[in-house]
Structures are given as structure tokens and as C-alpha cells.
């Protein structure tokens, strides 16, 4: 389902097109400058009209150069801006608009290396919506997508600015917690779990109880980015096996 992603790219290009109105103004100014330049040349060559402004020709050429440079800079800026929009879309999940699994792996590697270099703490959560397949079967896939988006919004309202949440796949998400030791990570995970369980999600005006299970792991000396994720995922499996709606 890439409709929202396509929509975001389309909006980026539409915004760029709207800004082209500015270019039309610049183009008209360029035409005026060119016309004045031609008039200046005609005055210089005329035997009947004296050249009263000997430096006007150079000033008009300079103005034309400035206008041309302005147009080039504007176009480069727009190309760069649209390219950034497209990159963000490529790195984002179409339903929840958080980072994808692939981009999350790159972020984890970066935070992993930074934590080792600076000798900082690093924690990772893997959380999963309990019995998500039943939600899809009972309320439909569109409702399931809405639950995913609402879950992300609820989590983001509690996470810190430096924390990163992304989608692993289906109803599973990762949360990267830089400079966070295991106790603080467990406290945050419990806050997320409680925030989801304490307030029902509204689906078509119907309140639906949603719970999540969370696995938490802290960076250890022998870890790699992959083993850190695997340990968090193993803790998630423990939480599921112990009855769900809990943090391990």
C-alpha cells in the first residue's frame, strides 16, 4: 500500500510547481532587462539620439547576470528540496510514516558505533501489537492500518526527541533509545505499554482494547547491531509466551 507515499511525492512536486510563479516574475523581469538593453544599444548607434548614459549598457548586463543567477539558484534549491522529500518517502513506512526496517538498521548501526566510540549506553525495544491478526479479521485491514498509525502517534507522544521509532513489519516496531541504560529503557517501555492498554482505540466509533508486548535489550560489550536486535526480539518472545501485555 503505497498510496500515501505517492501522495507525498505528488505534493512535493505540486509545491515546487506553485513556486514556479516566482520564476515567471523573474522571467518577465529578464525580458524587460533585455528590452532596455536593446534600447540602450539602439540609442548608442543612432545618429540622432545622443548616448546620455554611457554606463547604462554595463549596468543592464550586470542586472541580467544577477537575474540569471537568481533563477539558477532557485531551481537548484527546488531540485534539492524535492529530492529530500522523495528520500524521506523512500525511507518511511507508507502506513505509519515512520522509518522502515531497512533504514532502521542503518540508524541502529550508526547509534551502535556512536555508543561504542563515546562509551555511552544504548538500548533497543522491539514491541508488537498483541493478537493483531484478529483485529484485521474482525474490523478489516483498513482498520488495522489505522491502529498501526494511532499506535505510532501514541508512542511518539511519550518518546524523547532523540529516540527513534520504526516499523519492523506487520504489527512489530523497533524503538532506538540512545544514551539510555536498561532500567530507564524498561521504565519507558512500561510507560508505552500502559499508555496503549489504558485507553481504547476508536475504530469507526467503536472502542477497541489494544495491548502490546515489549522486549528490551541493552548494549553489551560482545554485541553487534544484529545481536542487540536479536536479544530484544528474544525478550519480546518471552513477553508473548508469558501472557502478552507485558515488558521483558
Mark whether 58 and 7 lie in a shared domain: yes
Mark whether 148 and 211 lie in a shared domain: yes
* 3-state per-residue secondary structure call for the chain: CCHHHHHHHHHHHHHHHHHHHHHHHHHHHHHHHHHHHHHHHHHHHCCCCCCCCCCHHHHHHHHHHHHHHHHHHHHHHHHHHHHHHHHHHHHECCCCCCECHHHHHHHHHHHHHHHHHHCCCEEEEEEEECCHHHHHHHHCHHHHHHHHHHHHHHHHCCCCCCCEEEEEECCEEEEEEECCCHHHHHHHHHHHHHHHHHCCEEECCEEECCCEEEEEEECCCCCCHHHHHHHHHHHHHHHHHCCCCCEC
* pLDDT of res. 29: 60
Determine what percent of the chain is predicted with pLDDT higher than 90.
56
Q: State yes or no: pLDDT of 66 exceeds 90.
A: no
Which of residues 91, 110, 137 is at a domain's end?
91
Asked whether residue 248 is domain-assigned, the answer is no
Q: Which has the minimum average pLDDT: 49-63, 136-150, 188-202?
A: 49-63
pLDDT-based confidence at residue 238 (cuts at 50, 70, 90):
very high
Q: State yes or no: pLDDT of 119 exceeds 60.
A: yes
pLDDT-based confidence at residue 84 (cuts at 50, 70, 90):
low
Mark whether 63 and 169 lie in a shared domain: no
Asked whether residue 246 is domain-assigned, the answer is no
Mark whether 117 and 69 lie in a shared domain: no
Mark whether 80 and 17 lie in a shared domain: yes
Mark whether 106 and 175 lie in a shared domain: yes
Q: State yes or no: pLDDT of 24 exceeds 70.
A: no
Highest mean pLDDT among 13-22, 29-38, 55-64, 90-99: 90-99
Q: Quickly tell me which residue has 547604462 as its cell.
A: 56
Mark whether 115 and 141 lie in a shared domain: yes
Full domain range(s) for residue 140: 101-241
Mark whether 15 and 40 lie in a shared domain: yes
* pLDDT of res. 45: 47
Mark whether 67 and 117 lie in a shared domain: no
* pLDDT of res. 77: 66
Cell of residue 164, nine digits: 527513534
Which of residues 91, 122, 157 is at a domain's end?
91
* CATH number reported for the structural domain that contains residue 114 in this entry: 3.30.70.270
- How many CB atoms are closer than 10 A to CB 40? 19
What whole-number distance in Å separates Cα of residue 18 and Cα of residue 90?
23
The pTM score is 0.67
Q: What is the mean pLDDT of the chain?
A: 81
* pLDDT of res. 49: 46
* pLDDT of res. 20: 54
What's the average model confidence in pLDDT over 111-138? 95
* pLDDT of res. 35: 58
Q: Which of 106, 200, 97 is nearest to 153 (CA)?
A: 97
Asked whether residue 16 is domain-assigned, the answer is yes
User: Considering its fold, how many domains does the chain have in total?
Assistant: 2
Q: Which of 190, 195, 169, 176 is nearest to 246 (CA)?
A: 190
Q: State yes or no: pLDDT of 23 exceeds 80.
A: no
Mark whether 119 and 209 lie in a shared domain: yes
How many residues make up the chain in this entry?
248
What's the average model confidence in pLDDT over 243-248? 97
Which of residues 67, 91, 115 is at a domain's end?
91
Mark whether 64 and 113 lie in a shared domain: no
Q: Which has the minimum average pLDDT: 29-33, 132-136, 186-190?
A: 29-33
Q: State yes or no: pLDDT of 1 exceeds 50.
A: no
* pLDDT of res. 2: 44
Mark whether 157 and 217 lie in a shared domain: yes
What's the average model confidence in pLDDT over 88-102? 75
* pLDDT of res. 3: 46
Amino acid at each position: 500500500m503505497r498510496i500515501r507515499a505517492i501522495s507525498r511525492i505528488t505534493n512535493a512536486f505540486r509545491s515546487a510547481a506553485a513556486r514556479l510563479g516566482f520564476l515567471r516574475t523573474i522571467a518577465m523581469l529578464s525580458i524587460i532587462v533585455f528590452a532596455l538593453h536593446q534600447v540602450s544599444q539602439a540609442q548608442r548607434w543612432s545618429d540622432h539620439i545622443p548616448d546620455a548614459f554611457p554606463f547604462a549598457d554595463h549596468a543592464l548586463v550586470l542586472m541580467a547576470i544577477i537575474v540569471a543567477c537568481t533563477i539558477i539558484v532557485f531551481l537548484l534549491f527546488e531540485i534539492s528540496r524535492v529530492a529530500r522529500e522523495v528520500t524521506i518517502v523512500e525511507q518511511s513506512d507508507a502506513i505509519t510514516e515512520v522509518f522502515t526496517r531497512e533504514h532502521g538498521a542503518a540508524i541502529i548501526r550508526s547509534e551502535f558505533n556512536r555508543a561504542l566510540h563515546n562509551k555511552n549506553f544504548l538500548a533497543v525495544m522491539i514491541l508488537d501489537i498483541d493478537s493483531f491478526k484478529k483485529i484485521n479479521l474482525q474490523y478489516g485491514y483498513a482498520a488495522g492500518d489505522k491502529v498501526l498509525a494511532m499506535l505510532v502517534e501514541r508512542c511518539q507522544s511519550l518518546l524523547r526527541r532523540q529516540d527513534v521509532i520504526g516499523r519492523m513489519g506487520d504489527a512489530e516496531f523497533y524503538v532506538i533509545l540512545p544514551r539510555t541504560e536498561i532500567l530507564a529503557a524498561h521504565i519507558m517501555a512500561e510507560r508505552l505499554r500502559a499508555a496503549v492498554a489504558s485507553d481504547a482505540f476508536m475504530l469507526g466509533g467503536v472502542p477497541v482494547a489494544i495491548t502490546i508486548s515489549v522486549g528490551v535489550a541493552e548494549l553489551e560489550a560482545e554485541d553487534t547491531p544484529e545481536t542487540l536486535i536479536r536479544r530484544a526480539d528474544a525478550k519480546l518472545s518471552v513477553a508473548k509466551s508469558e501472557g502478552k501485555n507485558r515488558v521483558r
